[in-house]
Structure 1
Amino acid sequence: MSRQSPYHAAREVAITVEKHFAHYLAMARLNKEKDLAPAPHAREIEAIINTAFWTSLGHEEGIYPKISMAFLPMEGAKDAVRFSEAILFSPGNLTKLAPGVERPGTHLGIWQEAGELYVWGICYDVPSLCLVVDVFQPGLLVLKYRRINGVGKFANIAVVQGDQVKIVDMNSTSFTDCPDLLTSLIDFTTFSQSRSLNILVQLAVSMREHGRGGILLIVPAGTQTWTDSVVHPLKYTIQPPFGGLSRLMQEKVTETKELYWKNAVAREIGIITGFTAVDGATLINDQYELLTFGAKIRRAGKDMVKQMMVSEPVVGNKITTVHPSTHGGTRHLAAAQFAYDRQDSMALVASQDGRFTVFVWSPSRQMVHAHRVDSLLL
């Protein structure tokens, strides 16, 4: 299936991903879910990863490709552009096609026939649990799938970067005090998401995308205790709190209005996360009302946070206990202090290098827990 030199990480990842799809497609069928993609086999997965990796290292007119590939037959796509003749699945052909399929939600349709992979067209809507492989940047691939019923961002299975492989740990949500955001991002054990959890994910993705770094603090609605944790006077207080996203979350959405609602939600999320690019922290409450931005975090009491747990939801990762100053820069230290002082709140931190961390208080461990989730947001 693949004519180029073998990419050695591909086989290891392919076996794991094959088992993943076999298990969860079986669960979906038992739940009588419809519109399911076919199960990919290890040989096909390995060939796709191998070709995608070598494609990521090529370029067209000095620009490296960003491309998304969905493994499904032509008849499995509802909305698609179909080529009159199939195109050989090769790095050269993918590099040529890449400029025309870079927009979000656009995938090259990949299928196999007589042991050969080919590109049959371009699709914009894929079935549930469909394998998607994204070429993110040179040497960086993300393997993911479309969630059941298409709610939220695609769920990541593995991130492959050079010789480093991160397999998402489907059991990482089983430990005590796991934040809802992490559960929503992994979404292995449930086949649907609430709107609220989906919004947390979209806020995280949008916040990371502007690339400037930032802090988003989420506090309980109807409380003012958070004001003890910021420097006064606040320069950009929103009065009354801006509730565009909050109002949308309370709407009853019919099927005919769903697309309009999703577009409106995306617009409001962009408004909120745009403020996280401003120096300082942006604050919203758990009803998604914007309270302020550009706020400077300060220690609320006498105690300074001295240690915290750090974990990443990937296979083989172990929870470690470190001093907050060893994990990132001033943003991370400030967020850890806020989570320590405001134990009913959550702090989301995006770094300019793409790292993303969720800080929450762990009642069972009586310590701040920093969850690194950037491998789930790609």
Structure 2
Amino acid sequence: MSESSIHSAKIVASAVASHFENHFAAIAGKESDAFLQQPDIKTIEAIINAGFWSSLRREEGRSPKISLAFLPPGECENPLLFGRKLPLSPKILTKIAPGVERSGIHLGVWRDSEELYLWGTTKSVPPFCFILEVVEPGLLVVKHRRTQGFGKFVNVAILDGDQVKIVLDETSTIPDCPDLLTNMMGLNSTSSWNTSINVLVQMAASMRAHGRGGALLVVPKDTDEWKRSIVQPITYPVAPSFNGLAQLLQQSKQEKQDVSWQTALNREVDYITGLSAVDGATIITQDCELLAFGAKIHRASGSEQVEKIILTEPVVGNKALVVHPSLTGGTRHLSAAQFVHDQKGSLALVASQDGRFTIFAWSPCEGMVHAHRVDSLLL
């Protein structure tokens, strides 16, 4: 097996370097700039190559799953340091992988003159730290931590074999881009992570992670209009509405900084999204109160059947297509498109068992349902 530079690494390195350069330029002169390290094209390409070739190896029958973070050990809180520097090579990465594959552990990468090396591991990284995650053989994701606290990291680029997807750095090309998608792309720097919209990003990631597929409907509060699009009686209503997650979101800013609050939030998110694996749709309000699960969607009385929608993916080079909703997926996708068509103030989040994830929202600009394919943002 040759371990020369792969073509996709050369393609993606320049675009990724520009992404980080733009972010570093935006924070220049701020105090946080002192501990942020900007990767150059050569560094990005070298880390991607090492990650790619290691992903194709196996140790005791298993492929490595690792996260590589480009930063010096001095910029980490309580790092685990190796007794000596280790070369950044596929062989070493494959050997170490079983010990560092748990979520939240990053292998630290830094440079000595012209050589990159592994210095140890860390559980904390600063915002905009370059991270390469090896997901599975041939599948790599470039990402960085958000500026606001914890939560789903922001994806910058996805390499799947010889296919490359660069996530859009802006939303001007997406008509009526919903706040959920803007925050999922990490573009809303003024919005705190601890809001109901941003918690939906965490819920989307949790839904995709359970791997069973599911649908989550987000409806306006203080109205029962959505019930017109749900088969009655609802199979599994929740009465009174469950507000465990909503109560956490109402706590003070100081309380939300505590690790115990973050742990509780993750637990409540998984609690609700686990119900999305039940056949039917899970329904929550816009402030995250749980109303029902296992609900069956039908066309509202007097409403037309949805025949066409806009389909986009927030990656560079994607073009909006007007298609029949059946082209987005199976029954869940069809019913979600119909629900949003009838309940224009709602959102529908749909996960497929194969990992595809779609956000359905009404587009006033286009006058039809807009399906945003976002699985590239949730890896």
* Fold agreement, TM-score > 0.5: yes
Structure 1 position 339 matched with structure 2 position 340: yes
For 1:241 and 1:137, locate their aligned partners in 2 and report how far apart those are by CA, in whole Å. 39
Listed one character per residue, the Cα deviations across residues 303-331 of structure 1 (whole Å, up to 9, x for unaligned) are 10010000000000011100111221111
Structure 1 position 11 matched with structure 2 position 10: yes
Deviation of 1:33 (Å): 4.0
Listed one character per residue, the Cα deviations across residues 35-64 of structure 1 (whole Å, up to 9, x for unaligned) are 642110100100000110011111111111
Closer, same or farther in 2 for the Cα pair 1:194/1:102, shift >3 Å?
Answer: closer
Listed one character per residue, the Cα deviations across residues 327-377 of structure 1 (whole Å, up to 9, x for unaligned) are 211110010000000001000000011110000011111100000111011
1:330 matched residue in structure 2: 331
1:185 matched residue in structure 2: 184
2:213 matched residue in structure 1: 213
For 1:284 and 1:260, locate their aligned partners in 2 and report how far apart those are by CA, in whole Å. 24
Q: How does 1:207-286 map to 2 (within 5 A)?
A: 207-254=207-254, 258-286=258-286
The 8 Å contact of residues 149 and 193 in structure 2, kept in 1 or not, is answered as no
For 1:328 and 1:16, locate their aligned partners in 2 and report how far apart those are by CA, in whole Å. 31
Listed one character per residue, the Cα deviations across residues 92-151 of structure 1 (whole Å, up to 9, x for unaligned) are 111111111111110000011121111100011011110000000110000001122434
Deviation of 1:188 (Å): 3.5
How well do the aligned residues superpose, as a CA RMSD in angstroms?
A: 1.6
For 1:222 and 1:268, locate their aligned partners in 2 and report how far apart those are by CA, in whole Å. 22
1:45 matched residue in structure 2: 44
Q: 1:162 is matched by which residue type in structure 2? A: G
2:171 matched residue in structure 1: 172
Q: 2:265 is matched by which residue type in structure 1? A: V
1:120 matched residue in structure 2: 119
The 8 Å contact of residues 280 and 296 in structure 2, kept in 1 or not, is answered as yes
For 2:117 and 2:57, locate their aligned partners in 1 and report how far apart those are by CA, in whole Å. 19
The 8 Å contact of residues 151 and 193 in structure 1, kept in 2 or not, is answered as no
State the SS of the aligned residue for 2:314: coil
Deviation of 1:79 (Å): 2.7
State the SS of the aligned residue for 1:254: helix
Deviation of 1:190 (Å): 2.3
Q: 2:343 is matched by which residue type in structure 1? A: R
2:305 matched residue in structure 1: 304
1:287 matched residue in structure 2: 287
Structure 1 position 203 matched with structure 2 position 176: no
Deviation of 1:293 (Å): 0.4
State the SS of the aligned residue for 2:5: coil
1:64 matched residue in structure 2: 63
1:88 matched residue in structure 2: 87
For 2:174 and 2:208, locate their aligned partners in 1 and report how far apart those are by CA, in whole Å. 26
State the SS of the aligned residue for 2:42: helix
For 2:17 and 2:145, locate their aligned partners in 1 and report how far apart those are by CA, in whole Å. 15
Deviation of 1:256 (Å): 8.7
Q: 2:92 is matched by which residue type in structure 1? A: N
The 8 Å contact of residues 310 and 371 in structure 2, kept in 1 or not, is answered as yes
Closer, same or farther in 2 for the Cα pair 1:112/1:264, shift >3 Å?
Answer: same
Q: How does 1:71-150 map to 2 (within 5 A)?
A: 71-150=70-149
Q: Which moved more, 1:24-33 or 1:317-326?
A: 24-33
For 2:240 and 2:192, locate their aligned partners in 1 and report how far apart those are by CA, in whole Å. 30
Closer, same or farther in 2 for the Cα pair 1:35/1:211, shift >3 Å?
Answer: farther
Q: Which runs of 5+ in 2 are unaligned?
A: none
The 8 Å contact of residues 101 and 107 in structure 1, kept in 2 or not, is answered as yes
The 8 Å contact of residues 36 and 128 in structure 1, kept in 2 or not, is answered as no
Q: Which moved more, 1:118-127 or 1:195-204?
A: 195-204
Closer, same or farther in 2 for the Cα pair 1:175/1:32, shift >3 Å?
Answer: farther
Q: Which runs of 5+ in 1 are unaligned?
A: none
Deviation of 1:187 (Å): 1.8
The 8 Å contact of residues 36 and 130 in structure 1, kept in 2 or not, is answered as no
State the SS of the aligned residue for 2:141: strand
The 8 Å contact of residues 219 and 226 in structure 2, kept in 1 or not, is answered as yes
The 8 Å contact of residues 311 and 372 in structure 2, kept in 1 or not, is answered as yes
For 1:256 and 1:222, locate their aligned partners in 2 and report how far apart those are by CA, in whole Å. 26
For 1:80 and 1:173, locate their aligned partners in 2 and report how far apart those are by CA, in whole Å. 40
Q: Which moved more, 1:191-200 or 1:8-17?
A: 191-200
The 8 Å contact of residues 109 and 119 in structure 1, kept in 2 or not, is answered as yes
For 2:225 and 2:160, locate their aligned partners in 1 and report how far apart those are by CA, in whole Å. 43
Closer, same or farther in 2 for the Cα pair 1:55/1:33, shift >3 Å?
Answer: same
Number of residue pairs aligned between Structure 1 and Structure 2: 376
For 1:192 and 1:99, locate their aligned partners in 2 and report how far apart those are by CA, in whole Å. 37
1:163 matched residue in structure 2: 162
Closer, same or farther in 2 for the Cα pair 1:75/1:257, shift >3 Å?
Answer: closer
1:359 matched residue in structure 2: 360
